[in-house]
Every structure is written in structure tokens, then in C-alpha cells.
């Protein structure tokens, strides 16, 4: 091992990047689009191993078959874990092919969920997922006790629903979905995607969700943390195409969510109808097929259309394109980018609109305006 060198590879190093891509390709892998650190092991000038990171996850591992059996994966993993610790990331996660999971388990990682012959999701904390579920239960405990006592029933008999929401930003469509889900629920568990890959930061998204739903008294708010996986961070480097990526993400999400639902006694998951995003529509279809296998019903709520008048003057569907006549966060982001505040006002609760008209929102508006494409397809 003394002749092997482990080092960081920078995207500007064309030769090294070509070697990384070639090694991944030799094992039917591609370079993931979400990476912020790439490492490589060299034997002289030959790149013989690579592994990468994005935020607190590790991914894109590949070892030259000619060097199997010389503990290169252990060396790479140790190097990347040390790098993550230096960054202050102590809770680490790995996405890998199911067939490779055993190697990472032998090196101190623990499986959270696995989809047969496709993907395994692991973490370096043996009790991490268990502790997360206990946190969710603590957040729910007071409302569960109060309502079950009032109804004179066992907590498991309560009608408990769930929504998983990014809300980038929170719109009247999101509010409508929450209202519909809460109407027939004793308790609504509202999971907020906490990954900070959206144009609107999580701290703001959470605030606008809570403010926008303040009048609904049967909601328990939960942060998704690292366990409910954002499409922005889910890796696609071992998938054939976008459809396979969506299928794998949905399957993994459903596997994890079903465990959470069982512990919280959640019986229904509400989603908004998706006429604009093909990816989200596909995701919803997969959930509709798979959730019932875990005893969970998916309820699809039709999208709301925009209000046609505001206090700022008439707002008509002429302000929208033919494909965006329903309320959508992506349409709101485009309206912010275009400075179309009548559209923003028509599609958002007062709390969201007032925030974006405040000085506090200026950095976010600047980021939206600089973004090349704010529409999610």
C-alpha cells in the first residue's frame, strides 16, 4: 500500500476526471450529477480507485478489478470519512448497489433500507434511524394522548394521515392539500423536506408552512432529516435512465416511509395531483401501486386553479401559460423571477406573499432571478 496515493480530484483536472469517468463506466456506473468532493487512489499514474461525496453522503465508489483484495475500498472509505469529519459531518450515509452493501457493512455501516437487486441505503450510526423514529413519536406524543383520551380510544385507533412536502415556496395549493388531509384526520403528520437544495432555504420554507397552516389545530410538524430522500440528493449514478432513478427513489422512499407509518399508525398519505411535472406524476403512480402493499392508502387531491382577481388588479389566465393554469410552486418561482407579483399574490397565502414582498426576502429573490431555470420538470 505504500506505493498507493489517495488524493482529491478537482473538476478542473481534465485528465483525472476522464480517468474517474472511465473507471466508473467500466463498472456500469456514471459520474453522479451531485458531487462536492471526488477522491482517487493512484498506483503511479494509474487511477485504480475512486469514491465521492455530496454533503453528508458517500457515493460513486469503484475499484479497478485488477486491485480487488488489497483493501482499496477500506482505504478510500477511511479517507472520505475523515474528510467528512473535518467538515463537521458525523452522521454519514451511503447509497450503493445492493450487491455491494456487504462490503460497507463490514466497514461499519448499517443498512436502513434495501430494494432487492437495486439499491441499499446505509448509515454509520447503528441506532440513527431508530432514534429518528423516537423523535417523531416524541413530537406527536402530546397531541396523540390528548385526542385519544378525548375520544376514549387507543392511539393506534386514531385516524392519522401524512403529507411529505417541500413547499418551495408554500402556496395556496399546498394549503388546500393540508386542509383536505386534515379534515378527515384526527392527526395530520406534516413532513417537511429539510434538505437545503431548494431555491427557498429550509428555514424559510418551514416558517411559511407553519404560518400558512396556523389555523389548523391537528397538525404535527416533522422535519424529514436525511431519511426521507430529496430528489435533489438522490443518486442516479448506477441507474440506466431517469425513469429507473425515479423508480428506485420512490421504492426506497416507500420502504422507509412504511416503517415510519407503522410506528406512528399512519393510515393514509395525501399527495397533490401532478399535471405539470412528469417526474412527480410518475412518482405518485409508483406510490399508488406500492403503498397499499404496506397497508397505506394514497389519496390524490386535485390541484387548485389560481384565483382570478387580486387587490392589485385583475389577474387572469392570460398571465399564465396554457400549461400553468393550476397553482404550482414552480409557477410562483417563475412569477417571482419575472416580477409578476399579481400572479404570486393569486397563488400564495397572505403570509407567503407578505414575506416575499419584505426586505428579508431580497436575497432569495436575487437567487431566483439568477437561476437559469426555476421550473421543475
Q: Are residues 14 and 161 in the same domain?
A: no
Determine, yes or no, domain membership for 157: yes
Among 245, 274, 301, where does a domain finish?
301
Among 301, 321, 345, where does a domain finish?
301
- What does the alpha-carbon distance between residue 354 and residue 58 come to, in Å, rounded to a whole number? 39
Q: Are residues 135 and 231 in the same domain?
A: yes
Q: Are residues 38 and 16 in the same domain?
A: yes
Determine, yes or no, domain membership for 198: yes
Cα dist. 45→6, 18, 74, 365 in Å?
12, 13, 21, 47
122 touches 256 (CB < 8 A)? no
228 touches 164 (CB < 8 A)? yes
Determine, yes or no, domain membership for 173: yes
Q: Are residues 141 and 275 in the same domain?
A: yes
- What does the alpha-carbon distance between residue 284 and residue 117 come to, in Å, rounded to a whole number? 22
Q: Which three cell numbers stand for residue 283?
A: 412518482
Please tell me the total count of domains within the chain.
3
- From first to last of the 377 residues of the chain, give the pLDDT tens digit: 457 999 999 999 999 999 999 999 998 888 988 899 999 999 999 999 999 999 999 999 999 999 987 789 999 999 999 999 999 999 999 988 888 899 999 999 999 999 877 788 999 999 999 999 999 999 999 999 999 999 999 989 999 999 999 999 999 999 999 999 999 999 999 999 998 888 999 999 999 999 999 999 999 999 998 888 665 456 655 555 667 777 777 888 899 999 999 999 999 999 988 766 667 778 888 899 999 999 999 999 988 777 544 444 444 334 444 444 678 898 999 999 999 999 999 999 999 999 999 999 999 999 999 998 887 64
175 touches 165 (CB < 8 A)? no
**Strand pairing of 46-54 and 37-43?**
antiparallel
Q: Are residues 85 and 220 in the same domain?
A: no
CATH number for the domain that contains residue 169: 3.40.50.620
Distance, CA of 341 to chain centre: 28
Q: Where are the beta strands (DSSP E) in the chain?
A: 4-9, 37-43, 46-54, 57-63, 93-96, 110-115, 119-123, 160-165, 187-192, 219-223, 266-272, 297-301, 309-310, 313-314
Q: Are residues 178 and 316 in the same domain?
A: no
Determine, yes or no, domain membership for 377: no
- What does the alpha-carbon distance between residue 70 and residue 206 come to, in Å, rounded to a whole number? 47
332 touches 355 (CB < 8 A)? no
- What does the alpha-carbon distance between residue 63 and residue 71 come to, in Å, rounded to a whole number? 10
- pTM (whole model) above 0.85: yes
Q: Are residues 157 and 59 in the same domain?
A: no
Residue 239: its pLDDT value, please? Answer: 53
Query: Could you say which DSSP state residue 13 is in?
Result: -
Residue 250: its pLDDT value, please? Answer: 83
- What does the alpha-carbon distance between residue 223 and residue 23 come to, in Å, rounded to a whole number? 37
Domain that holds residue 91: 4-123
CB atoms within 10 A of CB 6: 17
Determine, yes or no, domain membership for 54: yes
Residue 157: its pLDDT value, please? Answer: 94
Q: How many CA atoms lie within 13 A of 273 on its CB side?
A: 10
Q: Are residues 315 and 193 in the same domain?
A: no
Host H or E run for residue 73: helix 72-87
Q: Are residues 322 and 276 in the same domain?
A: no
Query: Could you say which DSSP state residue 361 is in?
Result: G
* Residues whose CB falls within 8 Å of the CB of residue 186, separated by 6 or more in sequence, listed in order: 147, 151, 158, 159, 160, 218
- What does the alpha-carbon distance between residue 35 and residue 253 come to, in Å, rounded to a whole number? 21
Among 301, 333, 351, where does a domain finish?
301
Amino acid at each position: 500500500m505504500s506505493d498507493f496515493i489517495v488524493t482529491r480530484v478537482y473538476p478542473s483536472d481534465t485528465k483525472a476526471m476522464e480517468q474517474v469517468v472511465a473507471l466508473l463506466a467500466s463498472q456500469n456506473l456514471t459520474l453522479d450529477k451531485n458531487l462536492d468532493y471526488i477522491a482517487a487512489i493512484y498506483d503511479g499514474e494509474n487511477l485504480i480507485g475512486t469514491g465521492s461525496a455530496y454533503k453528508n453522503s458517500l457515493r460513486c465508489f469503484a475499484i479497478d478489478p485488477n486491485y480487488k483484495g488489497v483493501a482499496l475500498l477500506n482505504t478510500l472509505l477511511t479517507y472520505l470519512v475523515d474528510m467528512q469529519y473535518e467538515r463537521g459531518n458525523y452522521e454519514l450515509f451511503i447509497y450503493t448497489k445492493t450487491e455491494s452493501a456487504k462490503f460497507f457493512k463490514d466497514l461499519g455501516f448499517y443498512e436502513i433500507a434495501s430494494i432487492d437487486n437495486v439499491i441499499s441505503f446505509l448509515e454509520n450510526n447503528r441506532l440513527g434511524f431508530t432514534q429518528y423514529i423516537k423523535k417523531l413519536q416524541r413530537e406527536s406524543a402530546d397531541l396523540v394522548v390528548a385526542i385519544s383520551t378525548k375520544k376514549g380510544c387507543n392511539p393506534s385507533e386514531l385516524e392519522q394521515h401524512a403529507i411529505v412536502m417541500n413547499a418551495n415556496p408554500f402556496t395556496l395549493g399546498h394549503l388546500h392539500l393540508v386542509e383536505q388531509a386534515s379534515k378527515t384526520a384526527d392527526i395530520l403528520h406534516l413532513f417537511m423536506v429539510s434538505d437545503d437544495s431548494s431555491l427557498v432555504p429550509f428555514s424559510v420554507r418551514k416558517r411559511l408552512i407553519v404560518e400558512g397552516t396556523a389555523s389548523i389545530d391537528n397538525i404535527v410538524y416533522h422535519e424529514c432529516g436525511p431519511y426521507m430522500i430529496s430528489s435533489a440528493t438522490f443518486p442516479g449514478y448506477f441507474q440506466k435512465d431517469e425513469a429507473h432513478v425515479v423508480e428506485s427513489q420512490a421504492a426506497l422512499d416507500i420502504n422507509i416511509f412504511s416503517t415510519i407509518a407503522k410506528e406512528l399508525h399512519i393510515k393514509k398519505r395525501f399527495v397533490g395531483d401532478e399535471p405539470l411535472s412528469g417526474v412527480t406524476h410518475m412518482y405518485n403512480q409508483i406510490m399508488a401501486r406500492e403503498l397499499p402493499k404496506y397497508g397505506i392508502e394514497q389519496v390524490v387531491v386535485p390541484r387548485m386553479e389560481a384565483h382570478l382577481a387580486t387587490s392589485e388588479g385583475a389577474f387572469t389566465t392570460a398571465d399564465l401559460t396554457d400549461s400553468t393554469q393550476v397553482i404550482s410552486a414552480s409557477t410562483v418561482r417563475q412569477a417571482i423571477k419575472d416580477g409578476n407579483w399579481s400572479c404570486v399574490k393569486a397563488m400564495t397565502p397572505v403570509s407567503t406573499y407578505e414575506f416575499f414582498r419584505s426586505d428579508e426576502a431580497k436575497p432569495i429573490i436575487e437567487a431566483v432571478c439568477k437561476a437559469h431555470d426555476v421550473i421543475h420538470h
